[in-house]
Amino acid sequence: MSLQWGGRFSAPPDAELLAFGSSLEEDLVLAPFDLTCSRAHVAALRGGEIISQADADALNDALSVVAGEIVSGEFARFARGTPFEDIHGAIDARIREIAPGSGDLLHAGRSRNDQVATTLLLYVRHCARDGAAISRAIAGDIVAKARAELAAGTLVAGITHWQPAQPILLAFWLEAVGEMFARAARRFDVVVTDSSVACPLGSGAIAGSSLPLDRAAAARALGFKAPSCNAMDAIGTRDLALDVAHAYVRAVVDASRVSEELVLWCTPAFGYARLSDEASTGSSLMPQKRNPDPFELVRSQGAALNGAYAGALGTLCGLALSYHRDLQTTKALCMSVIVKGNATMRAFGRALSNVTFDRERMTERAGDGFTVATDLADALIAVGTTARDAHAQVGEQVAAAEREGRDLPLGARAAVDEKKTAGSTSPGEVARALDALEAELEAAARTMPDGAS
């Protein structure tokens, strides 16, 4: 029988219900991580002298064979050819085929509960490293774009409420985007750290094991600081899977917000930005169309992934402690968010690299909508006018200029150059912010663990 249980049952499982409960397809991506987990369990079995060295060697050799089959695709064909419940049962069955006798020892002292929890944490750690790397790559590309626009002195009308607010450097806008993705990377970093603390392997089904498993050896082999402290908590929590899913949702929401602005900037009404032919799409009916579809699709994913994340979190609301099969749904939803979030961020970064800006048009329109009004009010305050009086006086000037069809007596460039506060849009402050952001990205690159994407 392909299943890992059945001795106390007098009839085989209903095929349709077994298929309904199977997570094999979504689990296939976890196969390499399950192998790593199983190698660590072999170390725990051997360290506790539960199996002989010969059996340990046979199991490790069999795991190596399966590793090759996973790469070649042979294992996926094997797993799909039998009604397995999950990837863990499929690997166990294949090991028993490759190493008869020794293979029957692999699951000693182990439940799928602690196996799933550990395998998922290994996957989470890998995906968090990948998310951090993608976020920092986006931020690095933004820094390069910002430095080019800073050197060019490109201005743009900064907006609030989608109304002209104040003139800013385009480099200032770009640096703001870079800050967003640097924060995204730091959120992923937290998950990497937290997913390396407590190793669930050896927790068993709920209460630990009566076998003398060397849990410390397993934890070391998997890159954890120590074994988990409470078996019930270790097998029943999906906190880190939710955390990495949340980090992806947050990063995609950031990308969605930037995409919204770029979609509008690419319209003829704005004409601020252009997406290259390689990254744009056309219309099957309207020959003139150049659509920024990648940014529109990124924008949609912000909502879609947020919904999936809410579903993953919601499945936990009615659960008691320990393991319940509902956690399979939480796992599936988190993995879906991770996979789609990763793809969305990669597409966003690729599309972003294909954007160019119309420097002349942006700079010419930076003062439109009386964006220098606040700076005029600040100038009055600097010579002794109260804030309220300055606001009223400049408001009257705006109304008069609007009636007369003229601009206010201050240029957008001068307004930008006059900024004095830290973190402002003045050229010097933007340059300092870019230096700090670049230094952070370089420091992170130096400390990235081996094997990180």
Below-50 pLDDT ranges, the chain: 1, 450-453
Residue with tokens 């100038």: 379
Q: Residues 62-117: pLDDT tens digits?
A: 999 999 999 999 988 888 888 787 788 889 999 999 999 999 999 999 998 999 99
Token pair in block for residue 414: 């001068």
Quick one: 114-364+431-447 is in which CATH superfamily?
Fumarase/aspartase (Central domain) (1.20.200.10)
Using DSSP bridges, classify how beta strands 155-160 and 273-275 pair: parallel, antiparallel or unpaired: unpaired
Residue 283 annotated as catalytic: yes
User: How far is CA 293 from each of CA 91, 201, 279, 303, 450, rounded to the nearest angstrom?
Assistant: 41, 45, 8, 16, 36
d(CA 285, CA 293): 16
Which is the catalytic residue, given 161, 228, 280, 324?
A: 161
Spell out the domain ranges in the chain: 15-108, 114-364+431-447
Using DSSP bridges, classify how beta strands 163-169 and 155-160 pair: parallel, antiparallel or unpaired: antiparallel
pLDDT of residue 3: 64
Residue with tokens 């789609």: 340
**Where do the DSSP E strands lie in 328-371?**
355-357
CB 24 within 8 Å of CB 90: yes
d(CA 44, CA 214): 4
Which is the catalytic residue, given 52, 64, 72, 283?
A: 283
Terminal-to-terminal C-alpha distance of the chain: 39
Question: Any idea which fold 15-108 has?
Answer: Fumarase C; Chain B, domain 1 (1.10.275)
State the Cα torsion 56-59-64-66 to the nearest 10°: -170
Could you tell me which of 56, 59, 36, 38 has the C-alpha nearest to residue 46? Answer: 56
Structure letter (DSSP) for residue 291:
B
Structure letter (DSSP) for residue 281:
B
Residue with tokens 């809410």: 310
Residue 23 annotated as catalytic: no
3-class DSSP state of 156: strand
